[in-house]
Amino acid sequence: MFEIIYVWLENFGINAAAANLSARVLLGLIVLFLAFISRMITRRVLLKFITLSIAKTKTNWDDIFLENKVFHRLAQFVPLFVVYLFIPALFESFPHIIIMIQSILYIYFIMLIVLSLNASLSSIEDIYQTLEVAINVPIKVFIQVFKVLVYFVGGIVVISIIIHKSPLYLLSGLGAITAVLMLVFKDSILGLVAGIQLTANKMISQGDWIEMPKYGADGDVLEVALTTVKVQNFDKTISTIPTYALISDSFKNWRGMSESGGRRIKRAINIDMNTIKFCDETTLKRFSKIQYISEYLGSKEIELAEYNKQNQIDALSRINGRHLTNIGTYRAYIRAYLRKHPMINQDMTVMVRQLASTEHGLPIEVYAFSSDKNWDNYEVIMADIFDHLLAIVPEFDLSVFQNPSGEDFKGLA
């Protein structure tokens, strides 16, 4: 190409020196023009054709590659090759300039490869996020590790081009600075190991509700990355936890509750022990009108009467033998109420138990599971249940224990 332009200029009567310089300038302009034209063709024609073709396909993965500009990165190789092909002809008499420009082009070539691989890895991650398995097995940690490796290898190759040494020469010297690299990449190395353990053991996934008071985290996992885990708390603040902290420290994951058939209700009512007593005939007659326990009372009275008769119990004194109590009847009512409640999961544990008495009275604890796991609905269900259970306490001649208040002291006065 250079000789053709040179001869053509000489034919116009231009002397050799001027023709040589003019030919190089003209060739340089032609190279720039060809690079510009090739760039325009790839961007305006080829990329537009690819974009229209992708828009017509039913698959989603090619759209993701387009959104992450993978094809735009690849299109930049075309003008680069055009310039690279004409550099030797443009500076054939200046080998040092050829080597310098080619080194710059090599560096640019490596940068394009790194950026293309980075965009491709991001696309792979986005495609994976569309799969159901991504909820339980996140790969963001591994994608970030691959990106770090790509940038690391790219940096090694670029440095080797600048100093005109083999990349193996640089890699052989890394042993001397291994300690420094481990210090610099400490968080990344710990995060990688932690990420592998978290993924392999399925300890945490995107969308899990976790609780980690040490880091002020109590909410949903937004992202599990190489070095950090982002948690959106229920007050909409974001807590950032080091990934390796989830391995070294303890945390609570509520996923088991979400995957189960219900959300646990575990709350106690403290009964004033001064109001606990045996049930007399009048009391039992009144209790028998309560629909939920009428059948229970009938069968229980027969059972106790037979027991006392078989053991020749003197029924004149309630201290002797077995007799119904108002607290026991109240527990039976709570259990029957929960068994009939439409929002309690009957396939899971439904239990009403008596805890050890304290200075705050006798705790009667409800242990059951609501069938609705939504937080707002769960709170409403639990509140409705205890509204009812607290309201009917006086119906069983019981009272709820609470510490004396100002109104109590006013009554004494």
DSSP H helices in 130-244: 140-163, 167-172, 178-184, 186-200
Q: Is 221 in the same domain as 339?
A: no
| CATH code for the domain of 220 | 2.30.30.60
Name all contacts of 275-279 with Cβ < 8 Å and 24+ positions apart: 275/326, 275/397, 275/398, 275/399, 276/325, 276/326, 276/327, 276/362, 276/398, 277/325, 277/326, 277/397, 278/318, 278/323, 278/324, 278/325, 278/326, 279/323, 279/324, 279/325, 279/326, 279/329
One-letter identity of residue 365: E
One-letter identity of residue 61: W
Q: Is 241 in the same domain as 309?
A: no
Q: Quick check: 256 and 383 in contact, CB under 8 A?
A: no
Instruction: Identify the DSSP state of 362.
Output: E
Last residue of a domain, one of 86, 102, 130: 130
Q: What is the mean pLDDT of each run of 10 residues along the chain (413 residues)?
A: 49 52 61 80 84 82 85 85 76 74 87 91 87 75 83 87 79 65 72 77 82 90 85 90 87 81 91 92 90 88 85 76 90 94 92 93 95 90 95 94 77 63
Q: Which residues pair with residue 366 across a beta bridge?
A: 267, 352
| CATH code for the domain of 349 | 3.30.70.100
Residue 25 within a domain: yes
Instruction: Identify the DSSP state of 316.
Output: T
- Residue range 156-194, pLDDT digits in tens: 888 888 888 877 777 766 665 666 667 767 777 777 788
Alpha-carbon distance of 327 to 2, in angstroms, equals: 107
> Given strand 263-271, what is the order of strands in its sheet?
263-271, 362-370, 351-354
Alpha-carbon distance of 351 to 341, in angstroms, equals: 13
Kindly write down the DSSP assignment for every residue of 17-79, as one continuous string: HHHHHHHHHHHHHHHHHHHHHHHHIIIIIIHHHHHHHHHH-S-SHHHHHHHTTHHHHHHTHHH
Write out the H or E segment, with its range, that includes residue 265.
Answer: strand 263-271
Q: Is 290 in the same domain as 244?
A: no
Q: Is 17 in the same domain as 126?
A: yes
Number of domains in the chain: 3
Average pLDDT over the chain, rounded to an integer: 82
Q: Is 227 in the same domain as 125?
A: no
Residue 187 within a domain: no
- Residue range 20-49, pLDDT digits in tens: 555 555 666 777 777 788 888 888 888 888
Residue 97 within a domain: yes
Q: Is 254 in the same domain as 360?
A: no
Phi, psi of 363, rounded to the nearest 5 degrees: -75, 130
Alpha-carbon distance of 133 to 100, in angstroms, equals: 49
Q: Is 120 in the same domain as 209?
A: no
Alpha-carbon distance of 334 to 340, in angstroms, equals: 10
Q: Is 205 in the same domain as 287?
A: no
Residue 155 within a domain: no
Q: Is 284 in the same domain as 224?
A: no
At 15 the pLDDT is 47
> How many other C-beta atoms can be found within 10 angstroms of the C-beta atom of residue 361?
20
Last residue of a domain, one of 102, 130, 158: 130
Write out the H or E segment, with its range, that includes residue 266.
Answer: strand 263-271
Q: Is 352 in the same domain as 325?
A: yes
> Given strand 238-242, what is the order of strands in its sheet?
238-242, 228-233, 217-224, 209-212, 252-253
Alpha-carbon distance of 163 to 85, in angstroms, equals: 23
Last residue of a domain, one of 259, 282, 306: 259
| Structure token pair of residue 356 | 């050890």
At 175 the pLDDT is 62
Q: Quick check: 78 and 38 in contact, CB under 8 A?
A: yes
Q: Is 228 in the same domain as 270?
A: no
Residue 371 within a domain: yes
Q: Is 102 in the same domain as 59?
A: yes
Residue written as token pair 């009428």 = 294
Tell me which residue of 243, 249, 251 sits closest to 218, measured CA to CA.
Answer: 251
Q: Quick check: 109 and 181 in contact, CB under 8 A?
A: no
Residue 164 within a domain: no
Write out the H or E segment, with its range, that includes residue 369.
Answer: strand 362-370
pLDDT above 70 covers a percentage of the chain that reads: 86
Residue 275 within a domain: yes
**Whole domain around residue 47: which residue ranges?**
2-130
